[in-house]
Amino acid sequence: MPKVTIDAKTVEVPNGTLVVEAAKKAGVEIPVFCYHPKLASVGMCRMCLVEVGTPRRGKDGQIEMDANGNPAIAWMPKLQTACTTVISDGMAVRTDSAQVADARRSVVEFLLTSHPLDCPICDKGGECPLQNLTMAYGPGKSRFPVESKFHNEKRVPLGDLIMLDRERCIQCSRCIRFQDELADDHVLGFQARGRGIEIVSLSTPEFDSKFSGNTIDICPVGALTSRDFRLSARVWEVHDYPSVCAHCSVGCNLLICERDHQIKRIVPRENEAVNAIWICDKGRFAHHFTTAPDRLTTPLVRKNGSLQPASWDDALDAIVAKFAEIKKQSGASALAGLGGDRTANEDLYLFQKLFRQVLGSNNLEHRVGWSASNVGVDLVRMYGAGADTNLGALDKSVTALVIGADPEEEQPVIRLRLTRSVRNFGLNLIVANGRVTKLASHAKQSIVYRYGAESAFLLGMIRTILDEGLENKEFIGARVNNLDAVRKSIEPFTVEHCAELCDVKPEKIRDAARLIAQSPSFLILYGREAMAAQQHDPAITSSIETLLLITGHVGRVNNGLIALYPHNNSTGAMDFGLLPTHSAGRVKSDVKGLSAREMLSGKARALYVMACDPAADGNFTKPDLLVVQDLFLTETAKLADVVLPAQSFAERDGTLTNTERRVQLFRAAIKPIGESKPDWWIVAEIAKRLGATWHYRNSAEIMDEIAATVPLYAGVTYAALSDNVMMPRPPYGQGNPSDEPTEIAMGELENVSSGKQWLSVAESDASAKFELFWNEPRGEGREAKNELVLAVARSLYDRGTLVGKTKIVQPRVPAPYVEINSQDAEQIGVGDGARVRVSFDSRVIELNARVDGHVPPGTVLVPNNLDGTAALPMGAWVKIEKV
C-alpha cells in the first residue's frame, strides 16, 4: 500500500484514499466544514487547505534524495484541499505550517463575515463544528466592520420539521448533497449565487423527505435545527442514553437525550452495521407517545361493567384466580397468549415461558394487525444472511434481489443503505414487485410482476439457471439433495410459461437469473408483500429456498436471506416462539396451538394480550377473560377485564432483535410513567402468583437465562451487547464537553459495529445438508373482469397509536388514498385527486385517487394504516367507481 507522510508521521493507506482520511489515520486532524466521509467531496469551504508535495524525480526518473538521504519533496506552489486530493505513494503533507495556519484563519474569518455569532441562543452551540473550529483555528477577531454584516431571515420553516436560519448557513451544501446522494429526495437546493445564495426547498410539501432530520445532524453550523427540539435544552445539559428505535424492524441505534425526565430529542447513534449515522424522521420525531398524557398509569379492573383503577396486587390476583378457574374447567388449551412484536426479547421469552411451562398451553401468537403476514420462520433460521452482512457496503461482487418489499415506507434506513451500496460501491440490485417502488429507481433490473404470481417469477429464474447449467454443481453435489425431483417437477414450467404467468418478459427473467447465478454473492431481501402472498402460495417458500441452494448462495457473509418484517422485534417474536408452531429458538412444536384467528374468534376462553391491538382490526370476540397489557387504552383494552400499564422502550432496559437478526440493547432513559411496569416484570409476577419460582431482578438476568437455554442466543449478554456502543460525548458532569469530540455522529467508524447476530444453520453448520422441496405454484384463473386486484401497502407515517401522539409529524400522515394506473383511471373516468369509492367483499370505503404511474394496469394500491383502511385483504378483487 502507498505510504504517505503527514507532519512527519508516516502511514500506509489504500490507493484512492483522500488526504483528509489519511491524516485521520496518522492521528492528525484536518479541520473541515463541507467534507463529510459519507458524502462525495466538493472542496467548497476551503477549510482543509494543506501543503502537499510529492517526491522529486530527476531526469532519469529516479527519486532524488536530499542531504539526509531522504527523498526530496517537490512542494506544490499553492495549498491544496485535503478533501479532494487523493494520496500517492511517497506524498508528503504539512498541516502544521504557518502558511496552513494562516489559510485556516482566513477561511474562518470569511465564513464569519455575516455569521450572527449568536451561539448563546443557538441549538447547535456545544456540538457545533463552526464554533469548535473557530475556537481552534480562527483569528479571534474580525477585520470586517460589524455594520457590513448581511442580515438574513433567521426563522425560515423548511417544512414542518426543520427550521432554517439563513444567517448561520455557510453554504457547505452538506444538506443538499445528503438529500441528493443518499436520501434520493432532490428537494433541497441553492438559490441565487454569491452573497445572496440561500438554501430553498420547492417541493410540496416543503422538504418532502423521510430523512430530513439527518440534515440537522450533518449541518456543521446552526443553520438547520429541529423544530421539535428547538430552544428546549442546551446539548451539554442533556443526559445521553443508548437506545434502539421502537418503530420499524431496522433497529436503528439511537441516543435518547433526556433532561428533567423528559425526552428532549432523539439523535442517531453510530453503528455501521445497522444504520451508519442515519435515522428516519419517524424514529427521530415520533417519540412523544412515551410521555403522552393518555398513557395508562395504573392497573384497571372491570367492576360493575366499567374499568376502575386498582392496585397491582388486586389486578394480578384477579387474573391469576380467573386463569386457574378456566384452566380447571376447560383445561390449559383454553388459555391463549397474544404478544405483540413490539416488546423486548426478555418480555417475549417470559411470556411464552409462562404459557408453555407454567400454564401448559401452546396457544401463542404474535401475528395480528400489520404483523399478520410474518412468515419465514424456518427459512430465516436455515438461510438467514451471513453475519456482518452490511447492506450499506455491498459492492459489485454482490447481487441483491429485493422482492415484494417497499423499504422506503417500511424500513426506510435499509432503503438508504441500499442506495449507498448501489451508488458508491456498485451493488447489483434487482427490484421485483407488483408495482414500482422508490428503490426501483436505483435498480440495475427493475421487474414488475403480476401480484399473486411471485412464485412464477422465481420459478422462471430457477428454470433459467437449470436450463443454462448455471447452477453451483460443486455445492449441490456436496450438500443439496433432491434436485432431480425438482428438475422433473419444474418440467412444465418453461421460462416462457412462467413469463406468461407473471406477466414479465422472458428475457428479463433470464437476465435476472444469469446475474444472480454468476454473481459471487447473492442476497434475497423479501418483504411483506411477498410474505402476504406466501401465506397462500407455498411455492414462494420453496422457490426462494431452491434459488439460494442451487446457486450455493448461503451460509456466508453477503449471501442468504433477509426477511423484511414490519416491527422492531418481529424477529424476536419468532425467535421466542410466539407462534403456535414453534417454541423458543424456532424449534418446531409437537403440538400445534391455536392460530391468531382462532384465538380471536372465541376458541380461547382466556386471552392475555401483550402490546397489540387485535380488536382494532374488527372480527374480535371477547373471551371470558381478557387481560390487556399496553401503554394505552387500546380498542382491545377497552373490552378487557383487566388492563395492565406497561412501560415504553424509554423507561426500561431490554433487547430487540432486528430484521437482520442482530440483537441490540436499549437502556432506560426516563422515569416510569405512573405505576407502569416493564412487561417482563408483569409476566413474572403472574407466573409467581401461579406458583412458579421465578426470581428475576432485572432484564439482564432474563437474558442470561435466554443465553443458557436458547442456543440461538448463546453468548448474548448485556455486557457483550454493550461493546462498541458509541457515545459521542462524556457522560454529563464528567469532563469538560469542549475537550472531547462533541459532534453527534460523523461517520468515522467504518468498521465498528455493536450488537450480536445469531447465525443461521447454513452458516453455523458447514456440513449441513439441505433438502429441496417442490410446491406447485398457486394456479389462479384470472379472467378479465371489470375488477381490479388490490395491493395492500403501508405508509411510513400512519394513524397508529405511536405516531398519532406526535403532533409535529401529523401533517406528514397522508389522507387515505388509492393508487390507480392512468389507463384504469381513464376507464373509470377519474383524474389525480378525485374521490373514488372502493368496494370489495362487503366493505366500501371512500378514498382519494392518486394517478402517478406507480402501479401497473389492473392493480390498485391502498396503504392499510391510514384512516379507515385497516385490515384490507391483499389480493382481493375490488371495484372502483367515481363518487
Partner 1 sequence: MLSESAKTEIKTLMTKYPDSRSAIMPALHLAQREIGWLPDEAIQDVADLLGLSKTEVNSVATFYTMYAREKPGAHTIFFCADLPCALRGAEDMLEHIEHKLGCKAGQTSADGKITLREAECLGGCNHAPVMLIDGVEHQQDLTIEKIDEILERLKA
- Rounded to 5 degrees, what angle do the CA atoms 763, 765, 769 make? 105
**For residue 297, how many C-alpha atoms fall within 13 Å in the half-sphere facing its CB?**
7
Using CB under 8 A as the binding rule, whether residue 190 contacts partner 1 is answered as yes
- In the complex, the smallest distance separating the C-beta of residue 171 from partner 1, rounded to whole angstroms, is 12
C-alpha cell at 798: 400512519
Asked if 744 and 217 touch (Cβ cutoff 8 Å), the reply is yes
Using CB under 8 A as the binding rule, whether residue 619 contacts partner 1 is answered as no
DSSP line for 694-731: ---SSHHHHHHHHHHH-GGGTT--HHHHHTT---SSPP
Residue with Cβ nearer partner 1 (207 or 370): 207
Asked if 299 and 283 touch (Cβ cutoff 8 Å), the reply is no
Hey, what long-range contacts does 163-167 have (CB within 8 A, 24 or more apart)? Answer: 163/224, 163/225, 163/226, 163/227, 163/230, 164/199, 164/223, 164/224, 165/116, 165/122, 165/222, 165/223, 165/225, 166/198, 166/199, 166/223, 167/114, 167/115, 167/116, 167/118
Q: What are phi and psi of 549, to 5 degrees?
A: -75, -40
Nearest residue to 396 via CA among 415, 421, 419: 421
- In the complex, the smallest distance separating the C-beta of residue 825 from partner 1, rounded to whole angstroms, is 18
Residue with Cβ nearer partner 1 (184 or 679): 184
- In the complex, the smallest distance separating the C-beta of residue 184 from partner 1, rounded to whole angstroms, is 11
Residue of 1, 65, 101, 202 that binds partner 1 (CB under 8 A): 202
Q: What is the maximal distance between C-alpha atoms in the chain?
A: 102
x/- mask, partner 1, residues 140-179, rule CB under 8 A, reads ----------------------------------------
Residue with Cβ nearer partner 1 (183 or 665): 183
Using CB under 8 A as the binding rule, whether residue 203 contacts partner 1 is answered as yes
DSSP line for 241-297: EEEE-SSSTT--EEEEEEETTEEEEEEE--BTTTTBT---HHHHHTTGGGG-TTS--
- In the complex, the smallest distance separating the C-beta of residue 250 from partner 1, rounded to whole angstroms, is 26
Q: For residue 136, with 0-12 CB atoms within 10 Å meaning exposed, 13-18 middle and 19 or more buried, which class applies?
A: exposed
Nearest residue to 682 via CA among 702, 707, 706: 702
- In the complex, the smallest distance separating the C-beta of residue 175 from partner 1, rounded to whole angstroms, is 12
Separation CA 235–CA 258 (nearest Å): 10
Residue with Cβ nearer partner 1 (186 or 473): 186
- In the complex, the smallest distance separating the C-beta of residue 223 from partner 1, rounded to whole angstroms, is 17
Residue with Cβ nearer partner 1 (165 or 184): 184
Residue of 59, 143, 151, 193 that binds partner 1 (CB under 8 A): 193
Using CB under 8 A as the binding rule, whether residue 201 contacts partner 1 is answered as yes
- In the complex, the smallest distance separating the C-beta of residue 828 from partner 1, rounded to whole angstroms, is 24
- In the complex, the smallest distance separating the C-beta of residue 853 from partner 1, rounded to whole angstroms, is 12
Helices (H), 710-863: 718-722, 761-764, 822-828
- In the complex, the smallest distance separating the C-beta of residue 177 from partner 1, rounded to whole angstroms, is 13
Nearest residue to 758 via CA among 523, 575, 525: 575
Residue with Cβ nearer partner 1 (21 or 185): 185
Residues 327-346 that bind partner 1 (CB under 8 A): none
Nearest residue to 141 via CA among 165, 117, 118: 117
Residue with Cβ nearer partner 1 (178 or 383): 178
Nearest residue to 50 via CA among 71, 79, 88: 79
**For residue 852, how many C-alpha atoms fall within 13 Å in the half-sphere facing its CB?**
12
Nearest residue to 434 via CA among 775, 861, 795: 861
Residue with Cβ nearer partner 1 (200 or 224): 200
Total residues contacting partner 1 by CB under 8 A comes to: 12
Residue with Cβ nearer partner 1 (390 or 437): 437
- In the complex, the smallest distance separating the C-beta of residue 590 from partner 1, rounded to whole angstroms, is 58
The interface region with partner 1, picked from 188-196, 473-481, 704-712, 749-757 by CB under 8 A, is 188-196
- In the complex, the smallest distance separating the C-beta of residue 180 from partner 1, rounded to whole angstroms, is 8
x/- mask, partner 1, residues 710-749, rule CB under 8 A, reads ----------------------------------------
Residue of 200, 266, 480, 745 that binds partner 1 (CB under 8 A): 200
The interface region with partner 1, picked from 39-47, 181-189, 660-668, 790-798 by CB under 8 A, is 181-189
Residues 355-374 that bind partner 1 (CB under 8 A): none
Separation CA 248–CA 342 (nearest Å): 9
Using CB under 8 A as the binding rule, whether residue 187 contacts partner 1 is answered as yes
Across-strand partners of 49? Answer: 81
Asked if 561 and 387 touch (Cβ cutoff 8 Å), the reply is no
The interface region with partner 1, picked from 138-146, 190-198, 248-256, 346-354 by CB under 8 A, is 190-198
Across-strand partners of 226? Answer: 162
The interface region with partner 1, picked from 105-113, 193-201, 356-364, 419-427 by CB under 8 A, is 193-201
- In the complex, the smallest distance separating the C-beta of residue 191 from partner 1, rounded to whole angstroms, is 5
Asked if 649 and 572 touch (Cβ cutoff 8 Å), the reply is no
Using CB under 8 A as the binding rule, whether residue 610 contacts partner 1 is answered as no
Phi and psi based region of residue 10 (left: phi greater than 0; alpha: psi -120 to 50; beta: remaining): beta
Residue with Cβ nearer partner 1 (192 or 784): 192
Output the 3-class SS for 628-650: EEECCCCHHHHHCCEEEEECCCC
Helix, strand, coil content of the chain in percent (nearest 5): 30, 20, 50
Residue of 155, 186, 195, 638 that binds partner 1 (CB under 8 A): 186
Asked if 570 and 357 touch (Cβ cutoff 8 Å), the reply is no
Residue of 62, 88, 99, 191 that binds partner 1 (CB under 8 A): 191
Using CB under 8 A as the binding rule, whether residue 541 contacts partner 1 is answered as no
- In the complex, the smallest distance separating the C-beta of residue 612 from partner 1, rounded to whole angstroms, is 40
Using CB under 8 A as the binding rule, whether residue 625 contacts partner 1 is answered as no
Q: For residue 61, with 0-12 CB atoms within 10 Å meaning exposed, 13-18 middle and 19 or more buried, which class applies?
A: exposed
Helices (H), 90-200: 98-111, 129-137, 174-178
Q: What are phi and psi of 819, to 5 degrees?
A: -90, 130
Residue with Cβ nearer partner 1 (188 or 564): 188
Residue with Cβ nearer partner 1 (173 or 865): 173
Separation CA 256–CA 667 (nearest Å): 9
Asked if 149 and 109 touch (Cβ cutoff 8 Å), the reply is no
Residue with Cβ nearer partner 1 (153 or 260): 153
Residue with Cβ nearer partner 1 (75 or 150): 150
The interface region with partner 1, picked from 198-206, 396-404, 481-489, 638-646 by CB under 8 A, is 198-206
Residue with Cβ nearer partner 1 (224 or 686): 224
**Quick count: other Cβ atoms within 10 Å of Cβ 782?**
13
The interface region with partner 1, picked from 180-188, 380-388, 699-707, 875-883 by CB under 8 A, is 180-188
Using CB under 8 A as the binding rule, whether residue 263 contacts partner 1 is answered as no
- In the complex, the smallest distance separating the C-beta of residue 34 from partner 1, rounded to whole angstroms, is 17
Residue of 125, 139, 189, 309 that binds partner 1 (CB under 8 A): 189
Q: What residues make contact with partner 1 under the rule CB under 8 A?
A: 186-193, 200-203
